[in-house]
Structure 1
């Protein structure tokens, strides 16, 4: 990030990071601790390597990462990971081909070392230890809601059902009560997911199996909008390469680090910070050792969801849906 962005956020984090000088030595400055943490998060470097880069002790590197990511979670997350302008997001997805869509949802696995307790719970389908990050994205690929900390063995649908987000979507309190009519069916603001999620009136997912042309078109429209999630996860991991290594922290600290990286992603995106193509190349190289497991499709359907999806499918074929 540019110097102005870095300095501005050091000021915001300062209340949580400012230490008193002691007689033996002066406390490391806020700016240096933030720089150490960002360097560690942005590279696959070991603590030893970062230690030499900044000429500090190895334990200082670990402490800086924990202190700074905690400060980002408690002081910055609520500022930058927000619901946003719902109407602007709905308009953005409509321009991409899907009407009354408020978000896209997906999950990604972050590799970690085997925890001391319940290690088998963290083994995903690829046989790697991982922790799940589930996120809602807007049409620009900004994180608007995150749920992190579930073991890699857990299915995406269970993560969603166990979240406060699910409860709000079920109650109809997460979005405004803004419905449109498609054919003879009322369509609430929906989120878009992959086959790993249940089909619900507020959650549209692709058709599976042998498809006709109208189902193919529906899947194309949905997939086109959901690409923002995959691109955002790719940018997140390319900027913060530590998420592609086995994070050597406790089960309680890893979610904080992942949360901080999501907040930093939003900051970089909103500030228009540079993204170098070479980062993605390095990320893809690191990711070869930790490929994402495929989630099995969920067949559960909530009443009314099929009618909504069928109405959307028909409207896409007849050209009646918002473009």
Structure 2
């Protein structure tokens, strides 16, 4: 019942947000649940001076929710939202003592906030509360999700690693690949919880952090980090991540002979394979290898594209704390993984988002063309690739597993 009541406020898309801010708190509604999760709201009693049209909107025109509609608004299934609220209920919430405000309100309000670019004041109006509460609730939600669902993002090992290698080999034709790595920039406000806030400012005076993500053959995130300045080069960010440190200290335990695929901004090694530099003189095998690398990279590009499409707030994250920013980004990635597993794959043609263009690592002052092991391994894989397969019913596009 609490879930249905919350949804009525959230789905009032036709209400003008500015006018909604001035509404008085509503009296509780009685809900009647019909087939296909239909919800009709009836007021207990008329409120003096309340706009009749808006009251009728809530009582008569709130749309029913199908499974797909629910996921469209909240990114999770109804069952997942109910489970999430149930699992988060035992934890301490600062708003737990507020009359009429439940954990379900907190979950739905936070999912709505992360999924849209709607102002916090407008989100607050939907719940008949204030902006500071929505902001506080979002921070609490992200903290609890990270503390209790972090296992939704985990590095593939053993059977999971073998499945990812098999998946990349089957769909892309690139053997030995366990993960792909990619990045995107997350705009933020000037951070107040770091020693040097200007380190997060780029040449255009905008503040940002860099999201570096690794994913498996299905597009599921296996490791993410979002706490380093957006202007940092990818190779520098990599060194500061847990994966980067593991590659330096114990790559055998991390990869067990397998490798990661990255673009030219990463250093070539036997653990991270990158494309051959193309100066117009590459042979057929090297060109074929580069095409397969690009196809593999489209998996992470698609996941990052969809992450920001589903969670619009990441395109303009109104936070001035690196700690809270990192928690919010990781929360979106955790929810993305939960959502990914409940949907079938989809096709993608092109991902045209190049906001994070950087120089190739081998062109940097301190860069190099690759380790001897990496150069040899890349040559061997390129030499082993067979003829280019014929185009199939997918019209030549590689299949990338992610949600629509």
TM score, norm. by length of structure 1: 0.84
Partner in structure 2 of residue 123 of structure 1: 201
**Structure 1 position 124, deviation (Å):** 3.6
1:83 aligns with 2:83: no
Q: How many residues align?
A: 295
Partner in structure 2 of residue 293 of structure 1: 356
Q: What are the Cα deviations for residues 20-55 of structure 1, in whole angstroms up to 9, with x where unaligned?
A: 865xx4372110011111110000011111011111
Moved more, 9-18 or 46-55: 9-18
Partner in structure 2 of residue 153 of structure 1: 231
Instruction: State whether residues 103 and 192 of structure 1, in contact with CA within 8 Å, keep that contact through their aligned partners in structure 2.
Output: yes
**Structure 1 position 169, deviation (Å):** 2.5
Aligned pairs for 1:74-113 within 5 A: 74-78=147-151, 80-84=152-156, 85-95=160-170, 96-113=172-189
Match of 1:191 among 234, 255, 260: 260
**Structure 1 position 246, deviation (Å):** 3.9
Partner in structure 2 of residue 202 of structure 1: 271
Structure with higher RCO (Cα < 8 A, 6+ apart):
1
1:6 aligns with 2:43: no
Partner in structure 1 of residue 343 of structure 2: 272
Partner in structure 2 of residue 281 of structure 1: none
Match of 2:132 among 41, 59, 62: 59
In structure 2, the CA distance between the partners of 1:218 and 1:18, relative to structure 1 (3 Å rule), is same
Q: What are the Cα deviations for residues 235-266 of structure 1, in whole angstroms up to 9, with x where unaligned?
A: 10111000011423422211110010010100
Q: What are the Cα deviations for residues 75-134 of structure 1, in whole angstroms up to 9, with x where unaligned?
A: 0122x1012411100100111210011000011111112224634322346653210111
1:165 aligns with 2:165: no
1:28 aligns with 2:101: yes
Aligned pairs for 1:117-266 within 5 A: 118-124=196-202, 128-170=206-248, 171-175=250-254, 177=256, 188-210=257-279, 211-266=282-337
Q: What are the Cα deviations for residues 114-170 of structure 1, in whole angstroms up to 9, with x where unaligned?
A: 224634322346653210111110001000011220011211111111222123234
Instruction: State whether residues 183 and 356 of structure 2, in contact with CA within 8 Å, keep that contact through their aligned partners in structure 1.
Output: no
Instruction: State whether residues 19 and 27 of structure 1, in contact with CA within 8 Å, keep that contact through their aligned partners in structure 2.
Output: no
**Structure 1 position 312, deviation (Å):** 1.0
**Structure 1 position 175, deviation (Å):** 3.5
**Structure 1 position 18, deviation (Å):** 4.8
Distance in 1 (alpha carbons) for counterparts of 2:229 and 2:245: 21
Instruction: State whether residues 93 and 140 of structure 2, in contact with CA within 8 Å, keep that contact through their aligned partners in structure 1.
Output: no
In structure 2, the CA distance between the partners of 1:58 and 1:20, relative to structure 1 (3 Å rule), is closer
Instruction: State whether residues 184 and 211 of structure 2, in contact with CA within 8 Å, keep that contact through their aligned partners in structure 1.
Output: yes
In structure 2, the CA distance between the partners of 1:193 and 1:125, relative to structure 1 (3 Å rule), is farther
Instruction: State whether residues 17 and 30 of structure 1, in contact with CA within 8 Å, keep that contact through their aligned partners in structure 2.
Output: no
Moved over 6 A (4+): none
Partner in structure 2 of residue 280 of structure 1: none
Q: Secondary structure at the match of 2:247?
A: helix
Instruction: State whether residues 48 and 58 of structure 1, in contact with CA within 8 Å, keep that contact through their aligned partners in structure 2.
Output: yes
Partner in structure 2 of residue 185 of structure 1: none
Distance in 2 (alpha carbons) for counterparts of 1:45 and 1:168: 40
Q: Secondary structure at the match of 1:198?
A: coil
Larger radius of gyration: 2
In structure 2, the CA distance between the partners of 1:52 and 1:318, relative to structure 1 (3 Å rule), is closer
In structure 2, the CA distance between the partners of 1:200 and 1:125, relative to structure 1 (3 Å rule), is farther
Structure 2 gap ranges (5+): 1-75, 363-367, 389-404
